[in-house]
Structures are given as C-alpha cells and as structure tokens.
Amino acid sequence: MAKRPLIFGILNVTPDSFSDGGLFTDVDSAVAHARAMVAAGADVIDVGGESTRPGAARIDADEEQKRVLPVVRALCGEGIVVSIDTMRAATATAAVSLGATYVNDVSGGLADPGMVTAVTHSPATYIAMHWRGDSESMEDLATYDNVTADVLSELGARVEFLMEHGLEPNRLWLDPGLGFAKDADHNWALLRDLDQLVALGYPVLIGASRKRFLSPFGETPADRDEATTTISVLAADAGAAAVRVHDVGGTARAFDVRDAWVRGEA
C-alpha cells in the first residue's frame, strides 16, 4: 500500500478565505494556530495571504507580504516546516529566504512570469497546481472535453516548461487544483482518476479540504471534515504524497488507523 502522505495544515492569514478567513490575521494568533496544528500532527504549515475563493479580488504584493512574511519568519524561527501559498515570485523569494521549504503556487507559474526563475534560483520544492485563471474568472473556465485528460495534458505542459527553464525534477510536485476552474463533477472525476496523475511520477498534493463540492456531505465548510478526511485516506491509497487540510488532528488519526491496517496492529 502507498505510504502515509504528509499533512499540510492550512494557515490563511486573510480576512476573506472561505473557511478560516479573518481568524488568524495577527501574527500571534496565526503562530498559535500553526503550533496547534503541528502538535496535532501537521508535517508542514501552508501559509497563504491571498484568498483564492471563487470571486475573490486580488490584493497587491505589498499587502500579501505584510500578511505572510512575519508569520513565515516566526514559524521558520521555531523550526516548523513552512510552505508559502503564493502566485507571486517576489513573495515566494522573500518567504524562501526566511526559510520556507515549499512554494505552493496555485497558478503553476502562470500568474507571474517571474515565478519560474524565482524557484529555479532557490532551494525550494515547487508545488505546481492546475490553474486556468484567477478567482474572478475561473468559474467561467470550467469546460473540458475530458477533465482528467485535459488536466493531465495542461499540467504536463507546465512540467515541460518548468524543466526547460532548469527546475530539477526532484523539486517539482503537482496538484490537480480541485475547485479551481472545476465544477463538482470535474473534482470527483479527478479524484476517481488520481492514480493517473500519480503515474506521471511527481509527488501529488490534494487540496479538497472543506471545499464546496463536498456540500452534499456537510452544509457549511466546518461540517465537511469527515468528507475531507475520507478523501485524504482514499487519496493516500491512490498514492498522494500530501494532503492540504484544515482539520489536521482528524486527518492524522485517520492516517494512524490506515497505518494500523497496513501493519496489522495498532
């Protein structure tokens, strides 16, 4: 059976993210929440300063950096492994210079032409997500002939571009981008076909946590943790390398159960 995925705990230092917007806007509360997620079993804390929920307006780079960099500095100072969730090269570069290990770019390098150089010239691992357009336009871009084939080929093009620009293959991860220019059926098809994305040979991150396509299983975002955790376990079985979640403790317990199943003992 595929090994236990890493758990990326979500830390949005934004006023407007769909699930945790406004909760962790000062450094102290953000750091406290990150520590709690690490204690609950997070391997990495994914720090984001710009909401990507459908319809969200973009903020400028200064505002993004004012939100995230003090938090990144504090977490790296405590030895916590940090991922910076940004589409901007300047923010990625600043966060990596403070010690961030991963650059999580929901645009896969498409939003900022400087991103590819920023990551190739850094020691960071780059997580390239499938993306077709920003939050303001993405709902109109959710048309596919065959969502799995189309996402695989569009991500494949990003891989080729990144390699041509000198990114080493062992510093690249991929993400199908659940909810980004995808309707509910697209997300479910991508999850059903996850083994095909894993077969490309790069570590795959899955970000399903509390998203709207889980609404049949929970009305509000906070009601969707069981559905999220079930997806995390199934994603683990399909070979995902990491899951990006709000409910770290529940995910860690579910992975403990899965490990007991694999070992034949608890």
Active site amino acids = 211, 244
Q: How many CB atoms lie within 10 A of CB 58?
A: 16
Whose Cβ is closer to ligand PMM: residue 189's or residue 259's? 189
Contacts 24+ apart (CB under 8 A), 121-125: 122/92, 122/93, 122/96, 123/96, 124/92, 124/96, 124/100, 124/171, 125/101, 125/171, 125/172, 125/173
- Least distance CB 14 / ligand PMM (angstroms): 8
Segment 59-98, which members bind ligand PMM (CB under 6 A)?
Answer: 85
Neighbour count for residue 212 (Cβ, 10 Å):
15
Residue type at 131? W
> What residue is closest to ligand PMM based on CB?
207
Determine contact, residues 205/239, Cβ cutoff 8 Å: no
- 204 forms beta bridges with 174
228 lines the binding site for ligand PMM (CB under 6 A): no
Tell how far CA 136 is from the center of its chain.
19
Nearest to ligand PMM of 94, 208 (CB atom): 208
C-alpha 210: how far from chain center:
13
Cβ proximity to ligand PMM: between 76 and 129 the closer is: 129
Nearer to ligand PMM, 158 or 244 (CB): 244
The 163-182 contact track toward ligand PMM, x by CB under 6 A, reads ------------x-xx----
The verdict on 251 binding ligand PMM (CB under 6 A) reads: no
- Residue 18 in contact with residue 221, Cβ under 8 Å? yes
Question: How far, CA to CA in Å, does 27 sit from each of 12, 71, 152, 208, 253?
Answer: 11, 6, 38, 26, 28
Minimum CB distance to ligand PMM, residue 190 (Å):
11
Check residue 10 for interaction with ligand PMM (CB under 6 A): yes
Residues 17-36 contacting ligand PMM, CB under 6 A: 17-19
Lay out the site mask for ligand PMM across 121-140 (x = CB under 6 A, - = otherwise): ------x-x-----------
| Minimal distance, residue 207 CB to ligand PMM, in Å | 2
Phi-psi region of 72 (alpha: psi -120 to 50; beta: other; left: phi over 0): alpha
Contact segment (CB under 6 A) with ligand PMM among 11-19, 58-66, 111-119, 233-241 equals 11-19
Applying CB under 6 A, the residues found at the interface with ligand PMM are 10, 12, 17-19, 48, 52, 85, 104, 106, 127, 129, 175, 177-178, 205, 207, 209, 244
